[in-house]
Amino acid sequence: MQHLSRTELLSLEQYAEQRPAFRNQVMAHKKVRQVALGDHATLYFEDRMTIQYQIQEMLRVERIFEAAGIEEELAAYNPLIPDGSNWKATFMLEYPEVEQRREQLAQLQGIEQAIYIEVAGHGRVTPIANEDLDRTTSEKTSSVHFMRFELTAEMIAALRAGAALAMGIDHPNYQQRVDQVEAAVRDSLIADLD
């Protein structure tokens, strides 16, 4: 997938006019790009549309309209667009109560390395996590991690031929597995691959 360029973004005025329709389109699109791993963990898979939405929202909120500011946002978000041989995801740990979240994040250090995807007939793929900065400290992990899952050509061919796709977490304090990712999500993710 190609990175976004400044010419593909809407001006603040254009975005204000088109935002409700674009937001509805993106929210529907995101529904087939997420996998819940239990009650408290979710992988949200990114692509050009989800990243364009993120950039447009940042430009809107921050009132950025100058070329240099727009280029900074593009530089920050473009690396989250898949490259054709990988999937890129935002992983979120979600606990509604502050105290519970604090306790769980302390117990889940290293969880970002315990997440995996698995194409049937192939080994597990663990992510390359947080390439921008380390999000785990000696006291706790972060509730948000950015991940890249690199797939081999053989895995991509197997997926295209109908192989099942599983995902999970194998952490001492959080075990969860989805044996077969639902077809709509699987199809959406396969579309990211060259």
Q: What is the CATH number of the domain that holds 93?
A: 2.60.40
Residue 131: give the domain boundaries: 40-45+84-194
24, 88: one domain: no
How many angstroms separate the CA atoms of 49 and 81, rounded?
Answer: 9
pLDDT over 80 at 164, yes or no: yes
Cβ atoms of 138 and 130 within 8 Å: the answer is: no
181, 159: one domain: yes
pLDDT over 80 at 40, yes or no: yes
Beta strands at 124-125 and 115-119: parallel, antiparallel or unpaired: antiparallel
- 174: three-class secondary structure by DSSP: strand
Read off the pLDDT of residues 99-153 as tens digits, 9 standing for 90 and up. Answer: 999 999 999 999 999 999 999 999 999 999 876 656 566 688 889 999 999 999 9
